[in-house]
């Protein structure tokens, strides 16, 4: 599985933690789209870059991180074909995959404990879409 990951300055430290976890999984290839420091940058640029990598098929899924996860998730969701879920718990990560077939995960670097973020990431990657009644709903989203 190819995972694109990106952050702004507020999510940089957590992005690095998640990137290292992903690299150590063995079943994931990581494409790091930046940013590469805590120097101030604009989150829409990085959210869009990651979303475009997923939407184009260059990555199977994406992970985006800003200070709260809110802004960068909004940016990612502007790209056609993206369903980016902002998750603050493992339950949200599981349900955004099972019910929403989310292809991107957003988290907050300033609001999410690193250990919890790694568990959220694991659940997001290891959970499959249930389909069924949820497929009808994700099809409606895709038509928007």
Q: What is the CATH number of the domain that holds 79?
A: 3.40.1400.10
Does 144 have pLDDT greater than 90? no
Indicate the pLDDT class of residue 126, thresholds 50, 70 and 90: very high
Which tokens is 68 given? Answer: 């709260």
Backbone torsion region of residue 132, taken as left when φ is above 0, otherwise alpha when ψ lies between -120 and 50, otherwise beta:
left
Name the phi and psi angles at 123, rounded to 5: -65, -45
pTM equals: 0.97
Does 31 have pLDDT greater than 90? yes
Catalytic positions, written as ranges: 66, 99
Q: What is the pLDDT of residues 89-121, one digit of tens each?
A: 999 999 999 999 999 999 999 999 999 999 999
Which residue range(s) make up the domain with 95?
2-143
Q: What angle do CA 98, 99, 101 make, to 5 degrees?
A: 75
Q: Is cis: bond before 60, omega within 30 of 0?
A: no
If one counts the domains in the chain, the total is 1
């Amino acid at each position: 599985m190819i995972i694109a990951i990106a952050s702004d300055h507020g999510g940089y430290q957590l992005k690095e933690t998640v990137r290292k976890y992903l690299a150590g999984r063995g079943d994931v290839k990581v494409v790091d789209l930046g940013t590469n420091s805590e120097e101030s940058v604009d989150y829409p640029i990085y959210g869009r870059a990651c979303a475009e990598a997923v939407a184009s098929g260059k990555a199977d899924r994406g992970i985006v991180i800003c200070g709260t996860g809110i802004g960068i998730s909004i940016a990612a969701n502007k790209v056609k074909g993206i369903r980016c879920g902002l998750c603050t718990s493992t339950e949200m990560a599981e349900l955004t995959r099972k019910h929403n077939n989310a292809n991107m995960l957003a988290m907050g670097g300033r609001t999410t404990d690193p250990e919890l973020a790694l568990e959220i990431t694991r659940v997001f990657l290891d959970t499959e879409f249930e389909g069924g009644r949820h497929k009808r709903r994700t099809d409606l989203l895709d038509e928007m």
